[in-house]
Copies of this chain bind each other. A is one copy, B any other.
Amino acid sequence: MSEFLTLLPPPDALRLLLENLVIEPQPERVPSAESLHRVVVDSVIAPLNLPSFIRATVDGYAVHSADTHGAGESLPAYLKLVGEVRMGTMPVAPLQSGQCMIIHTGGMLPEGADAVVMVEHTQQALTDEIEILRAVGVGENVLNIGEDVRRGDEVIAPGTRLRSAEIGGLMALGITHIVVARKPRVAILSSGDEVIPPGEPLSAGQVYDVNSYTLATSVERAGGKPVIYGIIPDNPAAFRHSAERALHECDIVVFTAGSSVSARDLTAQTIDQLGQPGVLVHGVNVRPGKPTILAVCNGKAVIGLPGNPVSALIIAGIFVAPLLDRWLGLQSIRPKPFVTARLTVNLSSVSGREDWIAVRLIPTAAGYDAEPLFGKSNLIFTLARADGLMRIHPDANGVAAGSSVKVQLL
């Protein structure tokens, strides 16, 4: 068994885990229309200019801008109306000097035209003659070729998580399929002899499995594909059997250890025998979540979470979510959403330990107050009542009431 690197702070523990893994996002081609929240593997290069033709940005008349110079309400320019640009078509003929053509927003400028006069600044003098009441400069009210993106530009960087806007951009370029990182399969194993599947008749001393479901949904939210293996009996042979199967079938194995110290130690020993280098971290300096186990077995991460559902869910946010980010090749291009709030009470903390506190956010005139939710133990409905979590930095001895704190929404 590897030496215990006991009670590392979470960032150091995470770094140790990631250093022992070689992870490359695995490419998968999907329809762009179904790529929301997926992470792009390669640079997306524009295959065409956008726009690919000179477009009007207003309704009006395509003109040679020089023909409008000096035009005004009192001294209009008169241009010969020679037709209309139909949407989605190329204008039938070039525009000569002294001529104008009806054009609609998004329409293609005829050859020769270099600006559009808004319809509001014109007046129809005769059937085939338009009064121009305001001068336009070159390029006025038009969008030039490549003004949004130029052919050959990198339009989406590798590691970008796709939002509606990027999907719109892909479609604008006619890119109907995109290579994204395959969702890693995350095995979820629950354990504990007291744990039974929800809905079955409950005997005295038994509790329902919570972790399989909170972890599956948090894996799903973080971009992975959860695979629930169910409740594993609390003995090394059964655990080993299930863990080996999960390690074979999935990319990442996450389990919740039995609640007792002895059960956890047995589990750690079993994991250590599953593959090299084995257990890297057994115990993290964080509350809740101290008994966390981080291991790498034959190139795959194996993460042991505490059995307590609240601890398991918080620790999944600290270790499983960043691991999935790495798996997906996610680059931290976008800020993570959080709410800044005013802490309502003094919170004490042990220096060196990172604390995570569930808080309720209460709207105030200035923004939000963050009110910690305390409970005797880590209760699942305490977490359900919380809006988010705040972190107390390991270097801090606590946080004073009135401080501005960042709250990560649950």
Contact = CB atoms under 8 A, between A and B. Distances in A.
A148 B379 contact: yes
Nearest to A407: B335
B261 A59 contact: yes
Contact of A384 (B104, B156, B307): B156
B168 A210 contact: yes
A71 interface: no
Contacts of A108: 204-205
Contacts of A204: 53, 89-90, 108
Given A198-B171, A384-B155, A51 B207 contact: yes
A380 B337 contact: no
A344 interface: no
B106 A194 contact: yes
A175 interface: yes
B338 A193 contact: no
Nearest to A234: B87
Contact of A105 (B104, B259, B379, B387): B259
A155 to B, nearest CB: 6
B339 A168 contact: no
Interface residues of A, number: 103
A354 interface: no
A307 to B, nearest CB: 7
A163 B383 CA distance: 10
Interface in A158-189: 163-176
Nearest to A341: B335
A33 B307 CA distance: 19
Contacts of A340: 340, 367
A155 B381 CA distance: 8
Contact of A206 (B88, B169, B213, B339): B88
A157 B338 CA distance: 24
Contacts of A203: 88-90
Given A36-B217, A106-B192, A148-B380, A88 B164 contact: no
A410 interface: yes
Contacts of A176: 198-199
A382 interface: yes
Contacts of A90: 203-205
B168 A384 contact: yes
Contact of A52 (B48, B52, B202): B202
Interface string A229-257: 00000100000000000000000000000
A385 to B, nearest CB: 9
A337 B335 CA distance: 11
A376 interface: yes
Given A334-B387, A380-B148, A174 B194 contact: no
Contact of A339 (B57, B207, B338): B338
A106 to B, nearest CB: 4
A386 B363 CA distance: 27
Most buried by B among A59, A260, A309, A379: A260
Nearest to A85: B205
A217 B87 CA distance: 27
A76 to B, nearest CB: 22
Given A165-B313, A205-B108, A174 B198 contact: yes
Given A172-B207, A174-B202, 13 more contacts: A57-B376, A87-B205, A104-B259, A108-B205, A143-B379, A164-B215, A164-B217, A165-B380, A167-B217, A172-B208, A176-B198, A337-B339, A338-B339
22 contacts: A32-B198, A32-B213, A33-B213, A59-B260, A87-B192, A88-B203, A89-B203, A108-B205, A147-B379, A148-B380, A155-B384, A156-B384, A164-B215, A165-B214, A165-B386, A165-B410, A168-B383, A171-B210, A171-B212, A174-B202, A174-B208, A335-B339
